Structure 1
């Protein structure tokens, strides 16, 4: 087995820390939502917008950021993103009203968009083959752990300090990443073509319009002129965005989707990450508002998933590099679907150990089998010269999935996140996971390079 070189280790450390900041901030907020709405007001709508304001800009601008990283250099773009993310985090922590909070969260998402594609592109640019699969496995273990440990950290800050300190957690990782980034010496590609800024605007405004309509329609109704205008206008802008991608040097090269594993892998990503986002949001909020747990205890609920991810993800990435990703990408989501259905045992007489823990264990096993092979299958199918935009597209798909499912939360849970709504969310989560597994089994194939590199036997 090929070992990591010192350069590989430094690249992995930078990639993990830079992505850690973005993913941590996307999930650490979950258990803080009840405290935020209590202090600033706005109920479930404020909670939805606190999550989705971040995801709108992150999702919409990740594509633009991937193109910018390929054009101007991944290290430079990452450095700018880290500094901007730190400034926006301080603004969120100091927000006096829901409107200021939501605007600052949107700024955080915009800065975060600069980090994720650049970090993964560093790995895919420096490493290929089984070493790349192992590196992505390590990246996946720690960045996914960041998403899962976020609720625990958030709960500790909410219970013992204030929800405002939740958004300052990332200051230390940002400082460490900037220090390591200064030591990283990589030959950056020369700037190639211009960046399609108009496509970035079309994508951002289009997504914003659709999400606004989905979040606000339970209060205003589909007959509201504002809801109709934002929904239809947003959809039209997204269609124009897609049509514009047929021009030379597009922001999102549609030719990427002619690569089988890239196309089917992103379709699987859409369903799996929608399910993960829905499950994370609902568990973080219901365990506090429905089951009456403290924020810290609610955050601890998902700790078994974190532990299993750290223990198993790197190994799953290594096995995927050796045997191909298809079986892992099919089995993992199906196992997670079973885990989601186990949450139907949650009742009014709440008991974490018998009603929630089994689900967390099964979800953790399934997630560990899924994420590293999924990422490796998608990015390993694309040439290194387009690794930045390929990473950006995949991350955009994952964030858009979470964005849309959180925007539809009121519809999914019937307007109130009570026990019945919690069970409805568990069923929808299981269905989305199962579809993701089926899509993977149908569409994913073992990369040709892996088959060619196998030793000849017999």
Structure 2
């Protein structure tokens, strides 16, 4: 539900603009008002889960997200909707930051953990694709209000289920990790960084706005890292970076998501603006990716990770994603969905279904119970930064290339298609780079290696 909310709103934006009177320049903030707090609060929320208990944090975030969804649905002016979306982003961050940490804590056995991470990866990745389908169906058949109202009964049911099913955790206690100044630094740095990236579409990458805010975000982040090295109770213990596989998986994930995220956004535009699909058919058009991700994440991937180890599964997965994006980089202006799009979507879905569970396993491979929340928050933070960066860069390059061709006299369809092709190819290059880094940096682990279940230093469990 939380991941779905990042995309379900996209197809409803024209209706929201017409209903509430958004200007063209402010409409993007219906999406950005969710993304900025979501990306900024993940790290802090993950650490709070370690300190006060992941169940408490999860349920608080879920309740906040559900209440904010109701406020979004009843909004009657732009200010109310944007404020509610900001709160919704806060709730979404708090909820998702601790989820992967709960998964690895609840399932310590390698085989069970592989299955649980496979299910987690499927739910997370499928949410984006399902959002497009659900958003189009709800907007066309009822109204845009229901892209938010749909969260309310699901959220209430999830809160009740979590209260009954999840075991309460004591947590390490706030007294063992209350670094208030560090929390303010990293949250401000991440929010400012995500804001800077999403605003590049309006200001450009070399503008004073981008350089100024980007420098401020980087300075805050460096100050935070310096503080963590000296703080008695650091918010982000630097021991979590001792594992080569963990650090490598975080960076590889950011590159993979940066390239892969372009597919979802730009493929939707290609289907609608070039092939003439409506919202519902667009959602159905990208649905095969969700089917392929589900088939791999829920079935084959956990078995392969258990048998061969996550690195051996990750490399072919990244190769398939790069191949799928490269195939989309050849779509013609007068293309056909069955001939030009569908054959590229299948390797994308299969590759992501292999790569995402493997990356999650690697990223959490050295996490102990006292650090699983912060590791989960870091993993989700890198995903959000990669998505925001990839979307900003690739959409800007696609638009610039299209505008250049239009100025040279090209037709609208051919110019649009050329812009999308360029973005898909650059996305393929980013995923290829992540593949090279994975081959060079990651170490093979024993397939049936038992993860740490005791509260011991990460360095002792970093060999995998």
Give the TM-score category using the shorter length: 0.7 to 0.9
Gaps of 5+ in 2: 404-415, 452-464
CA distance 1:420–1:98, shift in 2 (3 Å): farther
Contact kept in structure 2, 1:48 and 1:406, CA below 8 Å: no
1:446 aligned residue:
444
1:50-449 equivalence runs, <5 A: 50-128=30-108, 129-184=110-165, 186-192=167-173, 193-217=176-200, 219-220=202-203, 226-246=209-229, 247-314=231-298, 315-415=300-400, 418-448=416-446
CA distance 1:30–1:200, shift in 2 (3 Å): farther
C-alpha distance in 1, partners of 2:322/2:49?
36
* 243-252 vs 408-417, greater mean Cα deviation: 408-417
C-alpha distance in 2, partners of 1:86/1:343?
37
C-alpha distance in 2, partners of 1:304/1:166?
22
Give the drift of 1:214.
Answer: 3.9
CA distance 1:60–1:341, shift in 2 (3 Å): same
Give the drift of 1:99.
Answer: 4.7
1:17 aligned residue:
none
Structure-1-length-normalised TM-score = 0.86
Give the drift of 1:368.
Answer: 1.1
| Superposed CA offset, 1:128-172 (max 9, x none) | 122111211122223322222221111111222223311222223
Gaps of 5+ in 1: 1-20, 454-458
* 177-186 vs 79-88, greater mean Cα deviation: 177-186
Number of equivalent positions: 432
Structure-2-length-normalised TM-score = 0.85
* 227-236 vs 120-129, greater mean Cα deviation: 227-236
| Superposed CA offset, 1:98-148 (max 9, x none) | 554333322211111111232222221122122111211122223322222
C-alpha distance in 2, partners of 1:407/1:101?
23
CA distance 1:138–1:242, shift in 2 (3 Å): same
Contact kept in structure 2, 1:117 and 1:388, CA below 8 Å: yes
The SS at the match of 2:145 is helix
Contact kept in structure 2, 1:67 and 1:195, CA below 8 Å: no
CA distance 1:428–1:101, shift in 2 (3 Å): farther
CA distance 1:408–1:48, shift in 2 (3 Å): farther
C-alpha distance in 2, partners of 1:118/1:220?
34
The SS at the match of 1:122 is helix
Contact kept in structure 2, 1:34 and 1:285, CA below 8 Å: no
C-alpha distance in 2, partners of 1:76/1:365?
35
The SS at the match of 1:64 is helix
2:457 aligned residue:
none
| Superposed CA offset, 1:302-324 (max 9, x none) | 11111112212122022202210
CA distance 1:206–1:424, shift in 2 (3 Å): same
CA RMSD of the aligned region, Å?
2.5
1:8 aligned residue:
none
The SS at the match of 2:334 is coil
